Amino acid sequence: MTFHGISPDIRAALERVLGQSGVAADPTSMAKYLADWSGDHHGSALAVLKPASVAEVQAAVRLCGTLGLAMIPQGGNTGLVAGAIDIGTTPGAVVISLERLNRIRSVDADNFTLQADAGCILQHIKDVADDQDCLFPLALGAQGSCQIGGNAASNAGGVNVLRYGMARDLIVGLEVVLPDGDLWSGFSGLRKDNRGYDLKQLFIGAEGTLGIITGVEVKLSPKPGQIETAYLGLPSFESAIALFRQARRGCSDLISAFEIIGSECMELARLADPTIVAPVDAPVHVLIELSSSAAVELRSLLVDFLAGVMERHLVADAVLAESGAQAKAFWAIREGLVEGQARRGYHVRTDLSVRISDIPTLIAQARGFVALEHPGWISQAYGHAGDGNIHFNVLPPLDLAEADARARGVAITARLYDIVTALGGSVSAEHGIGRTRQRVYWTGMSPVHRRLVSTLKNAIDPAGLMNPGCLFPVTETCS
Ligand SMILES: Cc1cc2nc3c(=O)[nH]c(=O)nc-3n(C[C@H](O)[C@H](O)[C@H](O)COP(=O)(O)OP(=O)(O)OC[C@H]3O[C@@H](n4cnc5c(N)ncnc54)[C@H](O)[C@@H]3O)c2cc1C
């Protein structure tokens, strides 16, 4: 980590606006803000600013504008694409952490909405919704650390997208401090509001490049009274996709999650928790969840459906969770494999999406290329298959030096992006672009697309101080 050092004058000016507790400028107190969850990325910053109110965010943004300081908004720092930390492209920036803006502002259970400060941890929002007999369905492995503002800024997905949509679909209103320090409040509590441009959608998924989100109003759903979870073993990814097609119809639109896991991922799950045992023995595992808020015969629906698909040999083995604890154990496999990969160390990490029917081709081509051209590297395929989203990760041989692995990883990643692009897919299904995918994003868009994106950026952030290097190149002009 590089420490650029802050001048006493700038530090004093920042402290006048935020108080001493609102400014961290020494390496020790900044350290936790300058390393991401994966441990892959370590950054630098002039200082970390920690405003405690919306007014302080406005004052900090105005002061940074006057001083010409680039600003990097930061939520829980769980994003996996270096959007919330500089990795060498934005030296001399300040990180603006939202962690002290962490109040639930209101819950309206009749309107099924909840309003919160942007720095609220996602799990806290889910717990508060639960207390009101409601569900906030955004669900991801990082929910104990990520913030609702970060979820909005990165348009987070997760395991329930299939039923409830991405963050973009779950947000009814936003409050944003613009790059000039003005506050735009887009709260109305209205689910339908067709007055012209839907401005909140500009800021959702903008990864902090257009302003700092300070408040979020989310849609709640009725809390499911029943949840049924099954862990299935299948012969192939082709059969998993055929199963999905049939399950969408056969389970009355009640599927809330459909995850696939290549059996090779089990070893990694056991790195996170050695007690993990696969409930089935098959090349491909599927975790399927059905949920309903009303008194539907959910279990018999799932049992009948599974009996039918097993009879047709689409599914080889199936274990139905007999308790909440067993369902949790199934999910621990899915979450554990992500943690296990991180514990193993550096690896190629992707977040690809294709049309659902192209998933088997994507995995076959990616696996084939790795086996042929990078023997010793280990492919891992898993993901939110019901949304066409596959995380195809590749682990280097353990005896390869990290620097060599990283160098080779760049070439492997580029080739995986070629494969997904040839299939008409996306290099970012849900994690965003950040700094690590900036180049492939920028070079992959059409001139007209680039012009529109640049026009929006230049109109809202003409000085280019809001998260430079993220999404947009810093070395070229944005036009
Ligand atoms: C174990 C694990 C599992 C994960 N699973 C999923 C998954 O299933 N689906 C998924 O979509 N993601 C997943 N992620 C990625 C990550 O958790 C999400 O992208 C999450 O939404 C990031 O939230 P955050 O608060 O940590 O944001 P950060 O990482 O702090 O920031 C992400 C981006 O948003 C910007 N930003 C943050 N807060 C604000 C704000 N208030 N205003 C403006 N800009 C802001 C940052 O500048 C950055 O560009 C996972 C991550 C981990 C570690």
On the CB side of 18, CA atoms within 13 Å amount to 32
Q: Is 9's pLDDT higher than 60?
A: yes
Q: Closest Cα to residue 171, out of 187, 183, 195?
A: 187
Yes or no: say if 292 and 225 are a contact pair by the CB < 8 Å rule: yes
Nearest protein Cα to ligand 1, atom 21:
151
Q: How confident is the model at residue 1 (pLDDT cuts 50, 70, 90)?
A: very low
Which ligand 1 atom sits nearest the alpha carbon of residue 37? 53
Centre of ligand 1 from the C-alpha of residue 76, in Å: 7
Check if 438 has its Cβ closer than 6 Å to any atom of ligand 1: no
> pLDDT for 344-364, tens place per residue?
999 999 999 999 999 999 999
Ligand 1 center to 428 CA (angstroms)? 13
Looking up tokens 């040839």, which residue turns up? 422
Write the pLDDT tens digit of every residue in 223-252: 998 999 999 999 999 999 999 999 999 998
Whose CA is closest to atom 44 on ligand 1? 208
What number is the average pLDDT over the span 66-74? 97
* Closest protein CA for atom 20 of ligand 1: 151
Q: Is 149 in the pocket of ligand 1 (CB under 6 A)?
A: yes
- Quote the CA–CA distance of 50 and 25 in Å, as a whole number: 11
204 lines ligand 1 (CB under 6 A): no
Which residues have a Cβ under 8 Å from the Cβ of 114 and sit 6 or more positions away? 104, 106, 107, 108, 125, 128, 129, 134, 136, 217, 218, 220
Tell me the best of 61, 146, 338 to mutate to test the pocket of ligand 1, counting ligand atoms within 8 Å of each CB and taking the most: 146
When pLDDT is averaged across residues 264-279 and rounded to a whole number, the result is 94
Residue 215 in contact with residue 117, Cβ under 8 Å? yes
Rg (Cα) of the chain, in Å, rounded?
23
Residue 476, pLDDT above cutoff 90: no
pLDDT in tens, 17-44: 999 999 999 999 999 999 988 888 888 9
Retrieve residue 124's tokens: 């806290």
Tens of pLDDT, residues 413-450 = 999 999 999 999 999 999 999 999 999 999 999 999 99
* Ligand 1 touching residue 205 (CB < 6 A): no
Closest CA to 279 of 225, 331, 235: 331
Q: In the chain, helix, strand, coil percent, each to 5?
A: 40, 20, 40
Q: Is the CB of 216 under 6 A from ligand 1?
A: no
Structure token digits, residue 332: 């621990």
Distance 158 CA to ligand 1 centre (A): 11
